[in-house]
Amino acid sequence: MNHRSLPGELHDDDRRPCAAPPSRHRPPRRPGWPRLSGLVAAAALAALGCGAGSSGQPAASASQPAAVMTPAQIAARATPAVVTIRGDGSLGAGFLIREDGWIATNFHVIAGIPDLKVVLWDESEHPVLEVLAFDEERDLAIVRIHAPRKLPLLPLGDSLAVRPGDPVVAIGHPLGLADTVSNGLVSAVRVVDPALTLLQISAPIAPGSSGGPLFNERGEVIGVAAAVATQGQNLNFGVPADYLKKLLVRPDPVPLSTFAAETAEEESALPAVKRSVPHHALTVLRGCTEGDLLVLARTMDGAIQVGSPLYNEGDFASCYHIYEGAALDMERRLGRACRGPKQALAEGRRKAAGLDDNAAQAWAMRDAFDGLLDVILRKVHGDAE
């Protein structure tokens, strides 16, 4: 839980099909999905009986607080305390644990990023001022913003009392879809090693959910969403809240800039690419409503925020599939009269499908997105052809 330096430095590089839009050239530094990947693999093996099993008898809760609530009741009460954490090419979740601006999240959501913004439920943005504490091995961190007023907070429950079969509710921003609520069960309590236990859950989570709260049926936070095992279906993992409680005992504040510099990592070499961004006339947006343009801008930006870290850590296939899925989603959601963007997205998918290299496929989709983002910006700015 101590502050430690890691090797690495920041590098600007425009060769990233999943980086932020052209108007924001600083590349992302951190993967947008957890550092717990190796531990998740161990937990998945444990689930198959090939490693450490679930804990024997979890400790009983010292008290029985509030009444049982439905997922809808938990969401209504908790959502105002769930935040979005954005950086260059990074998107994650967090939640307020003190009314004066203390926020819990994952270590991987904030590491290596010198400029982080927290978006509250009222859509106001607040810069992260400092990192109060972190535990890299368990992928947890606590950051602070300046609280403009007393903020809503979430109560921490007893994660030692969690048992397989208990209901669980997750709130996060999967693929940039803000405040998504999902529910399921605690599938198992996995002892990965003596220093780490994970909660295996069936509540769906995805990139963008990182750092979001996991609730028991009384609306208490019993874990922090951290990882998903892609080798199987619905194998999702959270870090127990009791590890977070330990971080709260001995905060050791450090400025965000210092923390970012010391947790930045060197990036692996990325393949050389050649950009081919289409230039659309404003007429391509003919028939599109403001709602259509909002769907386009938000969906593409969300996909970029999520896909960027995956590409930068060499997972070109996942980046491409996120882009492709976002394009299909937009084509389905756009109004019937909004034909131009639909055709542009379909053309991007067709071009990508004809390539046999995942990195090139990611670039083809990114080029399609950048062409549409450019024409939308020109329309918003009132440019004339």
- Closest alpha carbon to 30 in 244, 334, 296, 265: 265
How far, rounded to the nearest angstrom, does the alpha carbon of residue 187 sit from its chain's CA centroid?
Answer: 22
User: Which tokens belong to 35?
Assistant: 């550092």
Reduce the secondary structure of 299-323 to three states and give it as a string.
HHHHHHHHHHHHHHCCCHHHHHHHH
CA angle 300, 107, 17 (to 5 degrees): 30
Rounded-to-integer distance, Cα 265 and Cα 10, Å: 8
Catalytic residue among 187, 209, 210, 308: 210
Please give the full DSSP string across 17-51, using - where no structure is assigned. Answer: TTSS-TT--PPP-S-SS-TTHHHHHHHHHHHTTSS
Which helix H or strand E contains 280, and what residues bound it? Answer: none
Which residues are within 8 A (CB) of 121 and not within 5 positions of it... i.e. 6 or more apart? 79, 80, 81, 82, 83, 152, 179
Among 88, 90, 108, 242, the one annotated catalytic:
108
- Which residues have C-beta within 8 Å of that of residue 342, sequence separation ≥ 6? 330, 331, 334
Helices and strands in the chain, H and E counts: 9, 14
Q: 280 catalytic, yes or no?
A: no
Instruction: Give residues with Cβ within 8 angstroms of 57, minimum separation 6.
Output: none
Ramachandran bin of 123, using left for φ above 0, alpha for ψ from -120 to 50, beta for the remaining angles? left
- CA-nearest of 361, 383, 111, 77 to 258 is 111
> What is the Cα–Cα distance from 346 to 367, expressed in whole angstroms?
12
| H/E element, 364 | helix 358-380
Q: Determine which one of 88, 90, 126, 139 is catalytic.
A: 139
Would residue 356 show up in a list of annotated catalytic residues for this protein?
no
Specify whether 210 is catalytic: yes
> Which residues form the catalytic set?
108, 139, 210
